[in-house]
């Protein structure tokens, strides 16, 4: 109890100090790249099922509003922004409510379900079919990769209740629960439809079928009697990292016309760039599909991702960025979804996944040291959420939490995204007693603790 009170006092004092010293605005803006850990709502504006802009998400956010953040309230980067004396939340770049004047002090390009690996952002693709044909016949898609049948027998699709796949074949789909087709349809018919590009608009006669395969896989549809009534095509998946960098280039152009060439350059050089991604590459790609695992050993795959991280940092550097925080990955074997499916291990943390995270974080640390030597003037730091989150999970009571193995939303075992929404009546009353909000993402309180820890231990050097 005393330890807890001291911790809270320290965090409080720390925030006071940081507020007082940031008046000179050493960091004029925070620029965010990554996945759902730092997506502030970009996925609301692209056609994907990896979303959270509905209840009960955001129920503890200002005004109780779901924003597309995968939490009950704010995410870590919002707290970091506030600690730097900037806005209490960082807006999403694709949100038309915001303009360059808002983005000048902070912007997020992050996209839930993405990763370093291009193949990760393509895990969830959608096929759009004419509703009538789907209801009338059982449509089945078979998926082949390089002409070899690489996935067990038939993949799903078709008939009203089956969409997201059979759990055996699709264990780590973002939506592990079978999705009712009409739910997908309904979600795309809500008023956010207008934000979706016209060409991708889905009218009442059509339904979106989500299958869990990679975009690069070839999907062969069986011959159908009434092909003219079916229209199958891929729609864009979530925003890959390279595309986030393109958005950043576009942002810099807008910033230059807003504040002028030299001020824009100064702003970019002083801004803090934060990255947070990698978990999906392992859990939603490498360990979920045969493709990458047949190409690389776990260690080789880590090196592959670190290579992409290196090019990404160099790209930011070439665009003028100097202050960069490279984010590590959490003890991902302790995410409630992984614990729930750890039948052999008695629902304990999956130690193999935690070890992978430790190895990967070590490699990112080495990369950080290397790039600080290679790139003159760069101030690259490695921000590691692993130890603090693991400590919270092992000793939740020390931080005022009651539950660490199950999440707050729905049953707390499997649900995230739309599944949380549908079963939200089962959700816990007080999310601040839970370490995790959904089966993959922390609560606002956990985000605040992690953010304050990282500011204090890693990012504080940028305050001066
Ligand atoms: C990912 O895709 C982009 C765009 O097609 C491409 O430029 C990039 O080289 C790809 N990255 C890797 C590591 O294959």
Tens-digit pLDDT profile for the chain (464 aa)? 444 554 544 444 444 444 444 445 599 999 999 999 999 999 998 867 788 999 999 999 999 999 999 999 999 999 999 999 999 999 999 999 999 999 999 999 999 999 999 888 876 544 444 333 333 333 333 333 222 222 222 222 222 222 333 322 222 232 222 332 223 332 332 233 333 222 223 333 333 344 444 443 333 333 333 433 344 444 447 899 999 999 999 999 999 999 999 999 999 999 999 999 999 999 988 987 777 888 999 999 999 999 999 999 999 999 999 999 999 999 999 999 999 888 888 999 999 999 999 999 999 999 999 999 999 999 999 999 999 999 999 999 999 999 999 999 988 988 888 778 877 888 999 999 999 999 999 999 999 999 999 999 999 999 87
What dihedral do alpha carbons 274, 461, 80, 446 form, nearest 10°? 100
User: Which residue is closest in CA terms to ligand 1's atom 3?
Assistant: 242
pLDDT value of position 397: 98
User: Which residue is closest in CA terms to ligand 1's atom 6?
Assistant: 242
pLDDT value of position 131: 37
- The whole-angstrom distance between residue 10's C-alpha and the CA centroid of its chain comes to 30
Catalytic residue among 95, 267, 421, 441: 441
| Gap from CA of 295 to ligand 1 centroid (Å) | 17
User: Which residue is closest in CA terms to ligand 1's atom 13?
Assistant: 308
> Is 153 among the residues known to form the active site?
no
How far apart CA 350 and CA 184 sit, in angstroms, is 31
CATH number corresponding to 2-117+239-463: 3.40.50.1110
How far apart CA 56 and CA 304 sit, in angstroms, is 37
pLDDT value of position 291: 76
> Is 464 among the residues known to form the active site?
no
User: Which residue is closest in CA terms to ligand 1's atom 9?
Assistant: 242
Mutate to test the pocket of ligand 1, among 115, 116, 117, 118 (most ligand atoms within 8 A of CB): 118
| Gap from CA of 315 to ligand 1 centroid (Å) | 13
How far apart CA 118 and CA 367 sit, in angstroms, is 20
Both tokens of 185, joined, read 């349809």
Beta bridge partners of 407: 436
pLDDT value of position 25: 54
| Gap from CA of 232 to ligand 1 centroid (Å) | 25
Q: pTM score, two decimals?
A: 0.78
Residues 189 and 206: beta-carbon distance below 8 Å: no
What is the position in ligand 1's atom list of the atom closest to the CA of 311?
13
How far apart CA 455 and CA 302 sit, in angstroms, is 26
pLDDT value of position 123: 62
pLDDT value of position 343: 84
pLDDT value of position 124: 55
What is the position in ligand 1's atom list of the atom closest to the CA of 118?
1
Residues 379 and 272: beta-carbon distance below 8 Å: no
Mutate to test the pocket of ligand 1, among 215, 242, 300 (most ligand atoms within 8 A of CB): 242
Please tell me the chain's helix, strand, coil percentages from 3-state DSSP, rounded to the nearest 5.
Answer: 45, 15, 40
> Is 60 among the residues known to form the active site?
no
- Residue ranges around ligand 1 (CB below 6 Å): 118, 242, 308
Catalytic residue among 71, 117, 438, 439: 438
User: Which residue is closest in CA terms to ligand 1's atom 12?
Assistant: 118
Per the listing, tokens 């092909």 go with: 227
Residue-range domain boundaries for the chain: 2-117+239-463, 124-235
What is the position in ligand 1's atom list of the atom closest to the CA of 304?
13
User: Which residue is closest in CA terms to ligand 1's atom 1?
Assistant: 118
Residues 459 and 326: beta-carbon distance below 8 Å: no
pLDDT value of position 68: 97
How far apart CA 283 and CA 330 sit, in angstroms, is 12
How far apart CA 434 and CA 454 sit, in angstroms, is 20
| Gap from CA of 118 to ligand 1 centroid (Å) | 6
Catalytic residue among 35, 36, 276, 325: 36
Residues 96 and 195: beta-carbon distance below 8 Å: yes
Both tokens of 148, joined, read 């070899």
């Amino acid at each position: 109890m005393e330890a807890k009170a001291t911790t809270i006092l320290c965090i409080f004092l720390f925030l006071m100090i940081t507020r007082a010293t940031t008046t000179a605005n050493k960091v004029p803006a925070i620029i965010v790249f990554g996945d759902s850990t730092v997506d502030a709502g970009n996925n609301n504006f692209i056609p994907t099922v990896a979303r959270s802009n509905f209840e009960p998400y955001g129920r503890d956010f200002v005004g109780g509003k779901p924003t597309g953040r995968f939490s009950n309230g704010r995410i870590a980067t919002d707290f970091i922004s506030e600690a730097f004396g900037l806005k209490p939340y960082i807006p999403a770049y694709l949100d038309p409510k915001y303009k360059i004047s808002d983005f000048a002090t902070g912007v997020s390009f992050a996209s839930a379900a993405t990763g370093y690996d291009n193949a990760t952002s393509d895990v969830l693709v959608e096929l759009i079919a004419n509703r009538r044909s789907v209801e009338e016949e059982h449509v089945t898609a078979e998926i082949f990769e390089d002409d070899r049948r690489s996935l067990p027998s038939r993949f799903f699709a078709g008939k009203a209740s089956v969409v997201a796949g059979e759990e055996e074949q699709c264990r780590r789909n973002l939506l592990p629960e079978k999705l009712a087709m009409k739910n997908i349809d309904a979600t795309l018919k809500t008023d956010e439809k207008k934000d979706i590009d016209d060409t991708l608009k889905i009218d009442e006669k059509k339904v979106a079928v989500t299958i869990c395969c990679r975009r690069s896989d070839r999907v062969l549809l069986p011959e159908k009697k009434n092909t003219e009534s079916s229209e199958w095509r891929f729609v864009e998946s979530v925003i890959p990292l390279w595309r986030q960098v393109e958005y950043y280039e576009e942002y810099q152009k807008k910033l230059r016309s807003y504040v002028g060439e030299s001020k824009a350059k100064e702003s970019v050089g002083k801004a803090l760039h934060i990255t947070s991604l990698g978990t999906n590459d392992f859990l939603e790609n490498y360990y979920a599909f045969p493709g990458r695992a047949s190409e690389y050993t776990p260690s080789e795959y880590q090196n592959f991702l670190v290579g992409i991280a290196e090019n990404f940092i160099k790209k930011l550097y070439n665009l003028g960025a100097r202050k960069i925080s490279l984010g590590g990955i959490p003890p991902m074997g302790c995410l409630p979804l992984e614990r729930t499916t750890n039948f052999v291990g008695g629902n304990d943390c999956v130690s193999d996944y935690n070890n992978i995270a430790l190895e990967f974080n070590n490699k990112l640390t080495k990369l950080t040291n290397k790039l600080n030597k290679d790139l003159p003037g760069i101030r690259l730091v490695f921000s590691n959420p692993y130890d603090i989150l693991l400590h919270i999970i092992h000793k939740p009571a020390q931080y005022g939490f009651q539950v660490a193995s199950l999440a707050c939303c729905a049953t707390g075992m499997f649900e995230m995204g739309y599944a949380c929404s549908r079963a939200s009546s089962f959700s816990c009353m007080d999310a601040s007693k839970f370490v995790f909000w959904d089966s993959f993402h922390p609560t606002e309180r956990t985000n605040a603790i992690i953010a304050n820890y990282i500011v204090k231990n890693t990012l504080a050097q940028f305050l001066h």
